[in-house]
């Protein structure tokens, strides 16, 4: 990765280059605005940072023009502006366009430059790490970019590398088992077995035999030796699913195996060492169960060396389009189809309460995608697939429609085509909006009943409304819509929208 220096003063470039080289980094230097853009075009993935002069001896372009174009085309590349004049107006303008920093040349020393470079590179590394985390989440079935889910992902990555026992809490259907598997995938035990103990479905009389195994003749019906689930998880992970459902009288049997990592088969006097990592999950409030004498505090503390709480879907509605896209893509690849979701259907799904959380949403999607007629899934297909959802639907005006009039209270279908390239680069969101219009939103098409505008007009109006609300801040607008800066710049270029038109003068 190179640091690109763009300045028409060749001697100055050489001086800065020497400092960069002395810190162990590589650099490239260009001396004209067009050359800077050409270098970025030729090496978009090889530039870690741009040091860009404001003032070029060029009749048509200056550094701010290069900054604006680079942020439009390559928003992932940080740019630090440097200027010989130190103009406050230029600094303000550069910051608004998206510069990471602005430094007068008179203030640049070796130490100052090193500080700026290290800060910019740290931000870049954080962004790269964030994308890697998102990719890890997606590959393990944890879909979402919301702050709540990013917090979950960071804990999974952090705790996964340890040997600590993890308790995963959350409502039914929030994805606790998926999170447990992700912890296993992030651990040093990834090559070992991931063994699930389905506690509610193990009869009490067979619990110890299932978990610790038994010897032949240990009890009536024990015709052979059997290894238990603890032994099966040796060198891997043992997942105690729905641990809160374990009867109180059986809970002491787990204390020593979890503490000492030793088990004894029924009918045997010999202890066996088991090298397992314990992950457990529950939808119950275990501290409350402890107060009610339904759960042992000693077991709780052994299981909860650290905790991950999964948020309900209603508290991260902005992730619904990403979840829908994920399962839509899976369906199309498996079935060889090209189905897509109408915009009105997506918005309808975002307004539902989803008492069953992600599991309820994914079950609905699987059912609808396999039963809907044609490639386009309409709002009516969603409502008819599970009429009970309509009773819990809260329309934007606060009413709860019946199945017969749901199409009158929600937006009429607009095509929402699934992208084959996935959501990591924002391409999925190019054809879908989150259905959370702001109070100041200029686009009344989605709520007013005037529903004949096509998808491009909806998209354009949403961009205008969001830029108005964010005072022209492209980064905030992109985050609010749920797309990347690069995607938003592509939309703005398509619809000839300039962010500076929305910047209020102070």
Burial of 442 (0-12, 13-18, 19+ CB in 10 A): middle
Q: Which residue has the higher pLDDT, 120 or 168?
A: 168
In this prediction, residue 135 carries a pLDDT of: 85
Pick the CATH number of 453-506 from 3.40.50, 1.10.20, 1.20.1260, 1.10.10: 1.10.10
- Mean pLDDT of all residues belonging to the chain: 81
Q: Which two tokens stand for residue 149?
A: 């889910």
Task: Look at strands 271-273 and 262-264 and give their pairing.
Answer: antiparallel
0.75 cut: is pTM over it? no
Tell me if 2-128 shares its fold with 147-311.
yes
Task: List, in sequence order, every residue forming a beta bridge with 50; answer none if it has no partner.
Answer: 4, 79
- Looking at residues 139-160, what average pLDDT do you find? 91
Pick the CATH number of 147-311 from 3.10.129.10, 3.40.50.300, 3.10.580.10, 1.20.1250.20: 3.40.50.300
- Give the pLDDT confidence of 372-388 residue by residue, as tens digits: 888 899 888 888 877 76
Question: How many CB atoms sit inside 10 A of residue 92's CB?
Answer: 12
Q: Where are the domains of the chain?
A: 2-128, 147-311, 315-436, 453-506
Q: Is 307 helix (H, G, I), strand (E, B) or coil?
A: strand
Q: Is the pLDDT of residue 397 over 60?
A: no
pLDDT band at 86 (very low <50, low <70, confident <90, very high): low
Task: Look at strands 194-198 and 47-53 and give their pairing.
Answer: unpaired
Name which of 349, 363, 355, 359 is nearest 175 in CA terms: 359
CATH code of the region 315-436? 1.10.8.60
CATH code of the region 2-128? 3.40.50.2300
In this prediction, residue 194 carries a pLDDT of: 98
The answer to whether the beta carbons of residues 478 and 485 sit under 8 Å apart is: yes
Q: Report the alpha-carbon distance of residue 441 to residue 461 in Å, rounded.
A: 9
Q: Quick one: residue 354, left, alpha or beta (phi over 0 = left, psi -120 to 50 = alpha)?
A: left
Instruction: State which H helix or E strand residue 241 sits in.
Output: strand 237-241
Question: How many CB atoms sit inside 10 A of residue 235's CB?
Answer: 12
Question: Lowest-confidence range among 23-37, 128-142, 389-403, 470-484?
Answer: 389-403
Question: How many CB atoms sit inside 10 A of residue 236's CB?
Answer: 20
- Give the pLDDT confidence of 208-235 residue by residue, as tens digits: 999 999 998 888 888 888 999 999 999 9
């Amino acid at each position: 990765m190179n640091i690109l220096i763009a300045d028409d003063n060749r001697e100055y470039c050489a001086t800065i280059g020497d400092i960069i080289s002395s810190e162990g980094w590589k650099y490239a230097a260009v001396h004209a605005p067009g050359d800077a853009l050409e270098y970025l075009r030729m090496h978009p993935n090889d530039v870690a940072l741009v040091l860009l002069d404001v003032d070029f001896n060029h009749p048509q372009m200056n550094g701010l023009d290069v900054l604006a174009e680079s942020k439009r085309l390559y928003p992932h590349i940080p740019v630090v502006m440097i200027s010989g004049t130190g103009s406050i107006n230029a600094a303000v303008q550069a910051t608004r366009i998206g510069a990471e920093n602005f430094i007068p040349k008179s203030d640049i020393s070796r130490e100052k430059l090193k500080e700026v470079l290290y800060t910019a590179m740290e931000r870049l590394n954080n962004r790269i790490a964030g994308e890697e985390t998102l990719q890890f989440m997606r590959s393990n079935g944890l879909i979402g970019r919301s702050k709540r889910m990013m917090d979950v992902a960071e804990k999974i990555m952090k705790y996964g590398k340890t040997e600590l026992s993890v308790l995963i809490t959350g409502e039914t259907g929030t994805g606790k088992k998926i999170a447990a598997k992700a912890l296993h995938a992030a651990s040093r035990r990834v090559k070992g077995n991931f063994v699930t103990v389905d506690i509610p479905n193990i009869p009490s009389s067979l619990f110890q035999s299932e978990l610790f195994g038994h010897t032949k003749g240990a009890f009536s019906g024990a015709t052979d030796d059997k290894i238990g689930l603890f032994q099966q998880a040796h060198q891997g992970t043992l997942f105690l699913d729905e641990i809160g459902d374990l009867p109180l009288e059986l809970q002491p049997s787990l204390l020593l195996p979890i503490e000492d990592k030793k088990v004894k088969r029924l009918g045997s006097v010999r202890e066996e060492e088991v090298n397992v990592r314990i992950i457990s999950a529950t939808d119950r409030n275990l501290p409350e169960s402890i107060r009610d004498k339904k759960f042992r505090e000693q077991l709780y503390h052994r299981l909860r060396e650290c905790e991950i709480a999964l948020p309900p879907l209603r508290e991260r509605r902005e992730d619904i389009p990403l979840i829908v896209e994920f399962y839509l893509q899976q369906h199309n690849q498996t079935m060889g189809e090209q189905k897509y979701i109408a915009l009105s259907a997506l918005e309808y799904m975002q307004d539902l309460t989803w008492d069953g959380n992600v599991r309820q949403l994914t079950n609905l999607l699987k059912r609808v995608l396999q039963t809907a007629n044609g490639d386009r899934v309409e709002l009516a297909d969603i409502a008819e697939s599970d009429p009970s959802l309509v009773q819990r639907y809260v329309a934007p005006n606060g009413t709860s429609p019946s199945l017969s009039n749901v199409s009158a209270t929600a937006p009429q279908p607009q095509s929402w085509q699934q992208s084959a390239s996935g959501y990591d680069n924002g391409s999925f969101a190019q054809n879908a909006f989150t259905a959370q219009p702001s109070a100041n939103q200029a686009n009344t098409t989605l709520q007013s009943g005037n529903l004949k505008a096509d998808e491009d007009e909806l998209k354009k109006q949403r961009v205008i409304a969001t830029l108005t609300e964010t005072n022209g801040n492209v980064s905030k607008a992109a985050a609010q819509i749920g797309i990347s800066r690069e995607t938003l710049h592509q939309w703005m270029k398509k619809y000839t929208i300039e962010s500076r038109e929305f910047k209020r003068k102070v």
